[in-house]
Structure 1
């Protein structure tokens, strides 16, 4: 292969490699995650409430609260977030987030 010219980018042929990015089914996970039932209930309630109010399924966004110790993650609580969608981008209401975060302390 000749060296690339200054304005050209060298690219590997994607079809030539047989790289598998997925771990095999026998691989043991290196991260332990504990999800408290309250989190599932909070998310479900938020989605259900919005669906009832809007009449159709809506996207919901929220914050997860937990703690991490090494490779162990424990998610203990959550809360909904207010957001706006502008030209396809999502903007989270930071004041609402700060208020909810303060209430969880």
Structure 2
């Protein structure tokens, strides 16, 4: 979550810098792209990090957290189907996903 807050602030700064230095055509195109990214990050922050499968999918075969009507699981997709670790039935109806959290750091 802190990474998203940091990236959101960085995108806002980039939008401001682009506004100050680019020619008019490039400025409008660049600002539109950065504002779209900024809006997406804010949406993910407000949703607790969950991303709707209707909005975007993770990379194929990337293990992520998935949300289904019976809970949260880890799984991946192959562009056509979702696979849930430890389950053999298919297909699964995944509504949302989010990247796996970072593993804990080893204590020194």
TMscore range, shorter length:
under 0.3
Of Structure 1 and Structure 2, the greater strand share is in 1
Provide TM-score, normalisation by structure 2. 0.22
In our comparison, the structure showing a higher alpha carbon Rg is: 1
Provide TM-score, normalisation by structure 1. 0.23
Of Structure 1 and Structure 2, the greater helix share is in 2
